[in-house]
Amino acid sequence: MFYLVSYDIPETRRRTKLAKILEDFGDRVQYSVFECILDEKLLGKMIKRIQEIIIAEDDSIRIYSICAGCEKRIEVMGKGKVSKIENIYVI
């Protein structure tokens, strides 16, 4: 499943920690926006790690699930591209 994760965290140290967590799960497409292609298990792991560092009263993290039909209709204007699953072959 394709997920869009955005965040607004006022404290620099927590914001940096969150960005590093999200880099483990997806691609940064804007300063505080990541595209992630995850199964349910990875989504759960990502959410658990996020919950360990955020302060709910101060921070805002949004995780949007994008269905396959909607994913095909994503339009990028300017530089950048939509994250895709890369085919990897090990020989």
The reply, when asked if residue 8 is annotated as ligand binding, is: yes
Q: Please report which residue ranges of the chain form alpha helices under DSSP H.
A: 12-23, 40-53, 68-71
pLDDT at 83: 67
pTM score, two decimals? 0.80
Q: Say if residue 41's pLDDT is above 60.
A: yes
Q: Is residue 52 a part of any domain in this protein?
A: yes
Quote the number of domains for the chain: 1
Distance separating alpha carbons of residues 46 and 49, to the nearest angstrom: 5
pLDDT tens, position by position, 7-16: 999 999 999 9
Distance separating alpha carbons of residues 81 and 59, to the nearest angstrom: 28
Write the CATH number for 9.
3.30.70.240
Q: Say if residue 64's pLDDT is above 80.
A: yes
Of 63, 29, 27, 26, the C-alpha closest to 47 is 63
The average pLDDT across 26-55 equals 95
What residues make up the domain containing 36?
2-70
The residue to which tokens 């940096």 are assigned: 16
Q: Is residue 42 a part of any domain in this protein?
A: yes
Q: Is residue 41 a part of any domain in this protein?
A: yes
The average pLDDT across 60-85 equals 76
Contact assessment for residue 34 and residue 63, using Cβ atoms and an 8 Å cutoff: no
